[in-house]
Amino acid sequence: MIAPPPSDEVLLDIAAYVADHEKNEKGIYDPRVKANHAHWKLYSVEDGYYRKMSRRQWIERYVRIRDKDANIVPLILNTAQRRLLALVLKLERAGVPIRVIILKARQMGFSTLVQAMFYERVLRKSNMRALIVAHRKETSQLLLKMAGTMLREHKQDNGKEWNFKLDSKRQSKLRWTAPYHCELEVTSAEVAEPGHGDTCQMVHMSETSRWSDALTKIKGIMQVIPKRPGTMCFNESTANGDEGYFRDSFWEAWNQRHKTIRAANRTTIWVSLFFPWFHQYEYRWSLTTGYGMDLPQDMVDEVMSTLDEEEEWLLKQTYFVRKRGVVKVDVDQLIWRRLCIQDECKGDIGVFNEQYPARPEQAFIASGSPAYNAQRISNLMEAARNSEPLFRADIVIRRRVG
């Protein structure tokens, strides 16, 4: 059961405290500061309200976003977002720095979730600094607007706005005043030294596979976040060719995914996650082109009679759906895939696999400009992993005497 908000008496006590302690340089009291202290009182660990709500519960209850239909709605986490949140909790409980590198399909909501996690931490702890580095300046402004929407639409339990007092609300930064003393900065990889400055506890690097001079810039960014338990750093991107810092970092972590987090022989503190396109439940004909209609049987029959090797493999894959459990990829999703390849990708399967991969090898080998048929190579690699060798033999080296 979630605790009720503070009583009017508590709010009056907070107002009295603010009146005594929070005045500007001219000695004038700003009534908006009361909202900061009321929110701080409501969600502090010491007062018991924090313990009543997990991070996911807090986000789904208080974070609101602009959806794809331009409506302001609560952020209800999808399957992929919940999986990332579960990993963060696992790393927190293990007492290690949170370092996650994510290879994903497009539009799965990770930037939104990371923003929400940063926003939740800013409003539930003090003296926190978050840094978000987007690929381009235009994208950085979109991310800042997302943070602004979360701030503006954050409601009290009675539906009223909190009307927080901020020290700064500049073009690239939000900074909360007392009692938070927290800051959220958004910049882009187009600047020479993104994130250069004070120590951060939270960093989000977006679409790093497309950064110019990514290695130099990321090395600089990583200097501002200490390797301490509880600090958060996320590096998420789609693939962009079979080379580069993102590709190398992902494979180093991915190849050690079966080792425990504290394994002595790990060569990286980063943990990798891969999210194939079919984990995004809305990627299906009935929810996109079909506008909510049931899948016609003649379309099902057409697809099932013309399956290629990749589609046969896809139909064997399973994934988890909230409130439904483990399900298999179905024809509805295959039809969406075919139409996406035809329309959005102009018939180029390589472009589709770069933006909507089904497995990591496929993403990197398909992106860029490969000299050989990327889909065929990916299928052969998958078949080799799942097949017995043609023969086994011992190699004996004989040395000639004399």
The residues spanned by each domain of the chain are: 1-53, 61-275, 278-385
Is the dihedral angle over the CA atoms 392, 395, 396, 400 positive or is it negative?
positive
Look up the CATH number of domain 61-275.
3.40.50.300
| The predicted structure's pLDDT at residue 50 | 45
Average pLDDT, integer, range 325-345: 93
pLDDT at position 54, please? 82
Helical segments of 99-155, H only: 110-122, 137-153
Residues 6+ apart with CB under 8 A from 27: none
pLDDT, residue 139, reads: 78
For the stretch 107-124, pLDDT in tens is 898 989 999 999 888 887
Range in 59-68, 215-224, 315-324, 381-390 the model is least confident about: 381-390
pLDDT above 60 (res 229):
yes
| Local structure of 376: helix, strand or coil | helix
Which residue has 């939740």 as its token pair? Answer: 120
Q: Residue 201: what pLDDT?
A: 93
Instruction: Give pLDDT, residue 47.
Output: 46
pLDDT band at 148 (very low <50, low <70, confident <90, very high): confident
What would the two tokens of residue 357 be?
A: 């991969």
The long-range contacts involving 378-385, CB below 8 angstroms and separated by at least 24 positions, are: 378/353, 379/309, 379/310, 379/313, 382/313
DSSP state of 280: S
- What pLDDT, on the 0 to 100 scale, is given for residue 374? 54
- Residue 274's beta-bridge partner residues? 103
Mean pLDDT (the chain, rounded): 81
Query: Pick the residue with more confidence: 98 or 21?
Result: 98
Query: Average pLDDT of 348-362?
Result: 90
The CB-side HSE value for 99 (13 A sphere, CA atoms) comes to: 18
Distance between CA atoms of residues 355 and 318, nearest Å: 20
Any idea which residue has 């539009």 for tokens? 107
Mean pLDDT of 185-190: 86
pLDDT digits (tens, 9 = 90+) for 6-52: 555 555 565 565 565 566 556 656 667 767 766 765 644 444 444 46
Q: What is the pLDDT of residue 365?
A: 75
